[in-house]
Chain A
């Protein structure tokens, strides 16, 4: 497995994802946003951070950057694309994933461990995670409130694209376990082909027992 991590000005989880990918022996190249050619890769990762400062709608500037044309092409050709946090925001801005990420319902940045349920384990990113497995993974965002039109939500459900949903420790998907107001507690979705995944929680922050847990590793193991 070969991965490329796109580095936008303002990306700040680029090193973290690099450490995580390399921990699982995934050969990783960092790619600067002005590149016009993607190194040959199976997986492209859009890392967390504040691309271009996110002074416009989060991810909107990055979605128009030069390298993204290549990323979109990669996805359309069936290559794997994984957007985490700001990366998820960028994916919705490019249209590779439906919907949008609005400001958190309480209007504050939230950084904490949350529980998510693996609603769909039939994607390349989740295939080694047991179905409905509850994972404890941190979130760290100000705009993670997933929103989509009725039709888009209907289509997400029909095509089994909802991959992760916020829940409590027991797996109940409820208002109380929804940290940011996301529609249907959505924490991560895929495209119809299941080769593109976007999620707000940070699995790369959950691969080291010393830092509080290893629940994120299922995703990286699935990719191997």
Chain B
């Protein structure tokens, strides 16, 4: 066998110390194929080497959790014999290099994670973040990413029902594309990736293997520089049609009694899928690379093992079931090849031509992968500063108009109308609401889902920001009448080798942990994306949280558009006027200092419980959570969607009024109720010790705040136009 040098190892993204460790683990020099396999398994993306020590601290259990982190996706009980299976994953680096394919294969990857486990995917969500609109690449990236998500999801026939879009200069050189999928399966038909049974055949199904995406996972584990364009060949190319066939074929196979375990070939392709299955089953695996279906000629073992060609699965079958399985894949015109078997050697053994080209212990690739306890430095809570002078003379109407027409608050229909959000015939709440609602097909219950993060809070104080992201999904689910059950997280950060970045990561994890624990709202799956840096500048810490909740009765859900012009508007939760890090300060006034709003988890929990009760008792006509832009923007949005006005009085002036209207105190909701229901509501709030305040009432065609008036029509125009104008020239 040819041997390799430390220089080659470094070129593949390993450090010299890691190279020494490899030699020590296998007791000799690795050959080139083996080195490639180590580099693929030991990179940040696959090994979580910087994050593992911290991730293990997250709470992962409550009474609904059936499968927590460690599998292709997490599983929760949703009543009866149904389970929901979901996960979020990043595809940031590839989407920056090639936005259409990067985003498309991001959707493809997360779909496979979900249907690998036996679920039919029923809802796509995504969180996408771009640099400032004026940046030369932003428009191209936005259009490419949105088309890519649409191209893949629409062709698959899975509705894209929700998400978030944000612009901030910190993403100029590193956009974020986080894709989430939720599937539904039967409790006794969940498939795992733990291989078992020495001698069981290992089969390869799906598309053929090409040279695309080789080293994609390593690329995603490095910073960018000015030559990132040169990395285009590491981006995979998606084929949603092949995936649709693979989905149907796999679901058909899952109805038979043939599968031992199943794993999709995602990052690091055949390498990680085979190693993970064997490692979990504490077995060895032997693969004959001559049998891997190839799209290109003369593919070498290194390429076969590291290719990230899409739409492929690795399955361990029960012995003797090959014919039965093959028939299904042939029906769907997919490749099917028995490429190996499970062994008791505990090694990964690869045959190519007539040689053994790899023979290394599975444990050295998985359990023995490096784990770093990187140095970290916590971000202290910033001091409050006095900005009253800057606030006191602000024109409220101008502030509201600026917020309504700001890219981050603008109506996103331009984005979600490109996604088929109705296919499958169960979308009850389409994009644009507080949370998406998808009926569980053929039943009277539904899942609600929301995806959220407020990176400006996370930068100012990562611990608070981590808590807030979790709470915002919790609130959004509650606002549509769902009981929050569990989350998935996608942790997007800069370079963890810098202690302040590692500190952001650690603080955010601690924040998420605290919120999840208190809310009994555990993490069941997730993904970490580090090295989101270009030329040494990192993104704001962006822990995207995807929350999923259950609605028991599809006929009792809630929306936020105002319903009638003679109702009362109530704010639930305390308004203190915390203006630092608000959308107004950050995006409009460019005052970016000071602490984010304080989190009170007990209040989050109590107010959510109260809101769900109000919805259940049919006391509310509409409910909206208060987030970016505070009370003023929340009510404006309710007016816009309902095409009905509102009238509120603050009894305040100057800076205090600005803070009251645009402050972003947490755990708050606005509700619209009928006048006749006021007494019942007050009584309920009293019993549960919930703070509620009557703000005003609904109105005809105007939104009036004290003496300030703006027509609903004008607000609609301001809010609707940004994306169309931006993309029309």
Contacts and interface: CB of A to CB of B under 8 A. Distances in A.
Given A53-B241, A112-B417, A9 B332 contact: yes
Interface in B423-458: 423-428, 430, 439
Nearest to A18: B425
B647 interface: no
A177 interface: no
Interface residues of A, number: 31
B156 interface: yes
Given A53-B241, A210-B554, A110 B418 contact: yes
B421 interface: yes
Interface in A178-208: 202, 204-205, 208
B245 interface: yes
B155 to A, nearest CB: 4
Contacts of B656: none
Given A9-B244, A9-B245, A53-B240, A16 B424 contact: yes
A52 interface: yes
Interface string A125-140: 0000000000000101
Given A13-B423, A50-B241, A140-B423, A210 B154 contact: no
A47 B285 CA distance: 43
A111 B241 contact: no
B241 A9 contact: yes
A212 B430 CA distance: 10
B124 to A, nearest CB: 13
Contacts of A55: 241
Contacts of A112: 413, 417
Given A53-B155, A53-B240, A111-B417, A12 B245 contact: no
Interface string B222-242: 000000000000000001111
Nearest to B430: A212
A49 interface: yes
A109 B418 contact: yes
B156 A204 contact: no
A55 B555 CA distance: 40
Interface string A1-34: 0000000011111011001100000000000000
B422 interface: yes
A204 B422 CA distance: 11
Nearest to A47: B157
Interface string B141-164: 000000100110011110000000
A111 B424 contact: no
Given A50-B157, A108-B418, 19 more contacts: A11-B157, A12-B156, A12-B157, A16-B423, A16-B425, A19-B425, A48-B423, A50-B155, A53-B155, A109-B151, A109-B418, A110-B417, A111-B419, A111-B422, A140-B154, A204-B425, A205-B422, A211-B427, A212-B430
23 contacts: A9-B245, A9-B333, A10-B155, A10-B244, A12-B157, A15-B424, A16-B425, A19-B425, A50-B154, A53-B239, A53-B242, A55-B241, A108-B418, A109-B150, A109-B151, A109-B418, A110-B417, A111-B154, A111-B416, A112-B417, A140-B420, A202-B422, A211-B426
Q: Identify the 7 closest CB pairs spanning chains A and B, nearest first.
A: A12-B157, A53-B241, A50-B155, A16-B425, A140-B420, A111-B420, A109-B418
